[in-house]
Amino acid sequence: MGKNSKISRRSFIKSVSAGSAGLLILPSGTLFGQTAPSNKLNVALIGTWGRAEAHYEGLKNENVVALCDVDEDHLAFAAKVFPNAKCYADWRQCLEQKDIDAVVCCTPDSTHAFIGVWAMNRGYHLYLEKPCGLSVEEVRLVRETYLKNKGKLAVQHGTQRHAKPNFNRIRELIHDGAIGELQSVCAWGDRQLRKPGYPAAAGDPPASLNYDLWIGPSPYHPYNPEYFSGQSGMNCLQWNMYWDFGAGQVGDMGSHTMDIAWNAIDAQLPVSASATGEAYNPEVTPVELTMTFNLPANDWRPAIEANWYQGGAMPASPRECVDLSKIDHGAMFKGSKGHLICSFDDRLILPSDDNADMTYYKPRSQEELIEPMGNFQQEWIDACKGNLKTTCDLEYGGNKMEMMLLGLVAYRVGKELEYDGAAGRVTNSDEANELLKRSYRPGWALNG
């Protein structure tokens, strides 16, 4: 029996047993329940240190059967926690292990789309840290591969801040008309990590590190210890600003902060993108950047503009007394009757003068509030074993990242791009179409 049929049989048993406190004694005497031995997922954890450590607690309740890292010391660190797992340096070999049900991918960004697509192609459930790709082509393939497997696989895009209650409250306020009809939205982040260019060659990699696999599909750059000098969970800030390894703050905090807006606006792909920022550096992504997108109307709101600001660029405040720069990562919604300004945890409504009494707005009752999603990682684990439904799947997360990465293409081309989202083509710039994809070292296949 294949792994997916095994899981769906479990789902079937679970639904049959609903109402019996989630426990069912089968004739064989097997005990089923969320963490019963027979209902554990066989997980491969790829990228085992750093961000991966945020997944350890949840994974301790499952069977971690494979660990993969290009750094032997990081592998050994995780092997202490998951001693029964087989260890690998190369994720391509790891994914061939036959007993895997699910993959948690916490590697650097340049491998996300590769590992994600290869994992889904092999029928594995997938938790993919953000961003789900580094080019428009990559995120489109990730989304397409997920959509092909929808109904068989549970996937989650690693934007765990989405579980904060503020996300639901903001969505309710926007949908219930607390600022009238939505007109535009923006999000921003103030992180500034300036680098002149790729660090120069400096010494040899330590014996514990397989540097060639670390470079992976990306164009080669010589070893420099700077790439590895960050603290656990923060080391991404040592490499994510370089074009061949990351998308700068667009892929980093942009994945999280634009999510506040994305969760509330029910958008698909933009029809246009433009961007301005500091002078283009062929090695390093821009620090200061403003991106503008036009998003088509949907069944509850008109067409709107969405903006992303970073690295010192900021939207204008609607009131002098409100200093938006005090919010390091925030979003602002403009409606016909006021503004909603928010961070990940707080929100503020500024009604326009004539509407200040807000009598136009009827808050929803407690029973009508959007249900909390609970623990973000656990939602995915439960979905793998159950109904396969997650809040941040790779259609939701893929569309958002496609928009953001298209903005970086507009920045590089320096003109407003008209975009055909169905075809994934820019209709007014051949140069931009070339930049929708990135180049790889020979021997690496994105869709393997």
Ligand X SMILES: NC(=O)c1ccc[n+]([C@@H]2O[C@H](COP(=O)([O-])OP(=O)(O)OC[C@H]3O[C@@H](n4cnc5c(N)ncnc54)[C@H](O)[C@@H]3O)[C@@H](O)[C@H]2O)c1
CA distance 62 to 36: 9
Residues 55-74 that bind ligand X (CB under 6 A): 68-71, 74
Determine the residue with CB nearest ligand X.
50
Choices 42-50, 56-64, 283-291, 394-402; region in contact with ligand X by CB under 6 A: 42-50
Question: What residue type is 171 in one-letter code?
Answer: R
Helix (H) or strand (E) holding 66: strand 63-68
| DSSP β-ladder status, 63-68 and 86-88 | parallel
CA distance 158 to 170: 20
Q: Which of 3, 42, 45, 50 binds ligand X (CB under 6 A)?
A: 50
Closer CB to ligand X, 253 or 327, in the complex = 253
* Cβ-based neighbours of 444, under 8 Å, separated by 6 or more: 114, 216, 217
233 binds ligand X (CB under 6 A): yes
235 binds ligand X (CB under 6 A): yes
Choices 26-34, 47-55, 266-274, 327-335; region in contact with ligand X by CB under 6 A: 47-55
49 binds ligand X (CB under 6 A): yes
Q: Which of 236, 250, 295, 406 binds ligand X (CB under 6 A)?
A: 236
438 binds ligand X (CB under 6 A): no
**Contacts with ligand X: how many residues (CB under 6 A)?**
28
Closer CB to ligand X, 108 or 424, in the complex = 108
Closer CB to ligand X, 62 or 69, in the complex = 69
Choices 46-54, 265-273, 376-384, 408-416; region in contact with ligand X by CB under 6 A: 46-54
| DSSP β-ladder status, 272-277 and 338-342 | unpaired
CA distance 429 to 416: 9
**Which segments of 137-252 are extended strands (E)?**
155-158, 182-189
Question: What residue type is 16 in one-letter code?
Answer: V
* Cβ-based neighbours of 197, under 8 Å, separated by 6 or more: 281, 283, 284
Residues 266-305 that bind ligand X (CB under 6 A): none
CB contact at 8 A, 66 and 83: no
CA distance 80 to 103: 19
Residue among 280, 307, 316 at smallest CA distance from 409: 280
213 binds ligand X (CB under 6 A): yes
Closer CB to ligand X, 233 or 312, in the complex = 233
116 binds ligand X (CB under 6 A): no
Which tokens is 333 given? 């919604």
Closer CB to ligand X, 252 or 419, in the complex = 252
Q: Which of 48, 156, 184, 429 binds ligand X (CB under 6 A)?
A: 48
Closer CB to ligand X, 13 or 213, in the complex = 213
Closer CB to ligand X, 62 or 71, in the complex = 71
Task: Compute the half-sphere exposure of residue 300: CA atoms within 13 Å on the CB side of its CA.
Answer: 11
Residues 74-113 that bind ligand X (CB under 6 A): 74, 91, 106-109, 111
CB contact at 8 A, 197 and 281: yes
CA distance 118 to 112: 10
Contact residues toward ligand X (CB under 6 A) are 46-51, 68-71, 74, 91, 106-109, 111, 129-130, 158, 160, 213-214, 216, 233-236
